[in-house]
């Protein structure tokens, strides 16, 4: 009897643990992706609800219509400077990964992995292509519903993006761009972190606004470079041609003339100064230019471009260099060029590259 009880217990335990093992498991990465989807849908839902509320009110009675006209008016104003794009950006991503593929995320569609230096084009008709492959078609959305695409470029990668209005963007490594699936009629708005060179298609009726975490740039049609890496405490805007207006969160504004640069430090724009724009924008041609700059800055950039970790030995960071680096060359050759012009040697060890003073 005692023996039977024991074997029964054993059978029950075996069955229960077998049943537990049979349960479906979900990997943490999958959970993160699934939750991101919940957030995206939540945002869309909230937007849809707030518009629907107004619609219902308008339909109900005359008294409500007066009230509602006021509401719509207010809604319209807040719509103009509503910050749904920054809100969306703040909710959807915490950091840009150090490695991996370029990702294009479109609401309601599968994530698309994009190859290095690919050309992503959103046509006026809403067709989305990567190089020559069609990856999606924007469906007609309900009027006023705003959904966002998101492009993530990890370290070591780069890509080109053409928006539906004809604006072209060169997105540097370690960058994220959020943009609506369809621009509003009177406002073209994107959000970015990292570094982007923009060639904005001119449209006087719809100003183009680039938002970052702590400032925004408004333009009509022009070419300029924005560098706003969250990891660095100074962001900068350099204007190549046209005119741009930079506005900080604290509502301080500066207007740039061609050839001018403004630094934005902790959300405060400095005084615009005249610069040679070439070093700031030549990265779009895969070049890096330095004019008497410390090596730690050089290696920070190289870390972004190649995604490789550089460890600087004592006395290396402060060495100052000037000149050009051609990033189309292999990393090996670039390092060789540096060690040729500055008194340093390099050594690869355990997946990192160590730079020592000679």
Partner 1 sequence: MQYTSAYQNMTDKALWNLAVKGDKKALSVLYKKHYELLLNFGLKYIADEELVKDCIQDIFVRFCTSSNLSQTDYVRSYLLTSLKHSISDKLSALKITEGLDAHLFDLKIEDSALEVLFKNNDEELRIGKQLMDAYKKLPDNQREAIYLRYVKGLSYKEIAAFLDITPQSSMNLVSRALSGLRSRMSLEDYLLALALFFS
Spatial contact of 343 and 319, defined as CB atoms under 8 Å apart: yes
Contacts of 166 (CB under 8 A, 6+ apart): 124, 201
Question: Nearer to partner 1 by C-beta: 31 or 69?
Answer: 31
Question: Nearer to partner 1 by C-beta: 5 or 124?
Answer: 5
Q: Which residue among 8, 33, 77, 257 contacts partner 1 (CB under 8 A)?
A: 8
- Of 11-19, 199-207, 264-272, 343-351, which part binds partner 1 (CB under 8 A)? 11-19
**Residue 198, token pair as written in the block:** 């923009």
CA distance 129 to 149: 14
CA distance 331 to 307: 11
**Residue 118, token pair as written in the block:** 């690919």
Question: Nearer to partner 1 by C-beta: 28 or 99?
Answer: 28
Instruction: Looking at residues 214 to 233 of the shown chain, list those that interact with partner 1 (rule: CB under 8 A).
Output: none
Binding of partner 1 at residue 29 (CB under 8 A)? no
> Smallest gap, in angstroms, from Cβ of residue 141 to partner 1?
18
> Smallest gap, in angstroms, from Cβ of residue 317 to partner 1?
28
3-state secondary structure 90-116: HHHCCCCCCCCCEEEECCCCCCEEECC
**Residue 16, token pair as written in the block:** 């229960």
Instruction: Looking at residues 57 to 96 of the shown chain, list those that interact with partner 1 (rule: CB under 8 A).
Output: 91, 94
CA distance 355 to 348: 9
Question: Nearer to partner 1 by C-beta: 50 or 134?
Answer: 50
Spatial contact of 226 and 195, defined as CB atoms under 8 Å apart: yes
CA distance 165 to 283: 24
- Of 27-35, 61-69, 224-232, 276-284, which part binds partner 1 (CB under 8 A)? 27-35
Helix (H, G, I), strand (E, B) or coil at 357: strand
- Of 36-44, 146-154, 196-204, 349-357, which part binds partner 1 (CB under 8 A)? 36-44
Q: Which residue among 33, 35, 250, 297 contacts partner 1 (CB under 8 A)?
A: 35
Phi and psi (nearest 5°) for 296?
-65, -30
Distance from the Cα of residue 327 to its chain's centroid: 22
> Smallest gap, in angstroms, from Cβ of residue 113 to partner 1?
22
Q: Which residue among 31, 80, 117, 345 contacts partner 1 (CB under 8 A)?
A: 31
What are the helix and strand counts (H, E) for the chain?
7, 24
**Residue 156, token pair as written in the block:** 């070591």
Binding of partner 1 at residue 22 (CB under 8 A)? yes
CA atoms within 13 A on the CB side of 332: 2
Binding of partner 1 at residue 14 (CB under 8 A)? yes
> Smallest gap, in angstroms, from Cβ of residue 87 to partner 1?
12
Binding of partner 1 at residue 56 (CB under 8 A)? no
> Smallest gap, in angstroms, from Cβ of residue 354 to partner 1?
30
Binding of partner 1 at residue 23 (CB under 8 A)? yes
Which positions touch partner 1 (CB under 8 A)? 4-5, 7-16, 18-20, 22-26, 28, 31-32, 34-35, 37-39, 41-42, 45-46, 49, 91, 94
């Amino acid at each position: 009897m005692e023996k039977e009880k024991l074997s029964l217990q054993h059978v029950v335990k075996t069955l229960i643990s077998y049943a537990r093992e049979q349960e479906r498991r979900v990997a943490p990465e999958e959970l993160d992706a699934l939750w991101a989807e919940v957030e995206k849908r939540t945002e869309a839902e909230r937007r849809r609800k707030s518009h629907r509320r107004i619609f219902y009110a308008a339909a109900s009675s005359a008294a409500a219509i007066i009230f509602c006209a006021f509401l719509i008016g207010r809604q319209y104003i807040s719509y103009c400077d509503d910050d749904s794009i920054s809100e969306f950006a703040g909710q959807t991503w915490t950091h840009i990964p150090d490695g991996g593929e370029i990702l294009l995320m479109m609401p309601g569609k599968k994530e698309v992995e994009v190859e290095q230096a690919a050309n992503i084009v959103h046509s006026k008709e809403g067709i989305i292509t990567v190089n020559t492959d069609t990856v999606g078609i924007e469906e007609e959305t309900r009027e006023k519903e705003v959904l966002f695409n998101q492009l993530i470029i990890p370290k070591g990668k780069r890509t080109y993006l053409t928006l539906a209005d004809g604006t072209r963007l060169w997105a540097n490594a370690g960058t994220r761009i959020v943009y609506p699936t369809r621009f509003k009629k009177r406002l073209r708005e994107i959000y970015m972190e990292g570094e982007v060179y923009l060639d904005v298609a001119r449209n006087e009726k719809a100003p183009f606004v680039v938002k970052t975490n702590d400032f925004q740039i408004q333009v009509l049609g022009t070419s300029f470079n924005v560098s706003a890496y969250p990891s660095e405490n100074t962001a900068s805007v350099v204007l190549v041609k046209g005119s741009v207006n930079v506005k900080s969160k604290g509502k301080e504004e500066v207007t740039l003339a061609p050839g001018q640069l403004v630094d934005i430090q902790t959300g405060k724009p400095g005084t615009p100064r005249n610069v040679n724009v070439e070093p700031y924008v030549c990265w779009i041609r895969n070049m890096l230019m330095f004019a008497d700059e410390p090596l730690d800055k050089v290696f920070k950039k190289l870390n972004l471009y190649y995604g490789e970790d550089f460890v600087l030995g004592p006395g290396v960071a402060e060495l100052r260099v000037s000149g050009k680096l051609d990033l189309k060359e292999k990393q090996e050759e670039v390092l060789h060029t540096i060690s040729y012009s500055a008194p340093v040697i390099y050594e690869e060890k355990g997946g990192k590259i160590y730079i020592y003073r000679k």
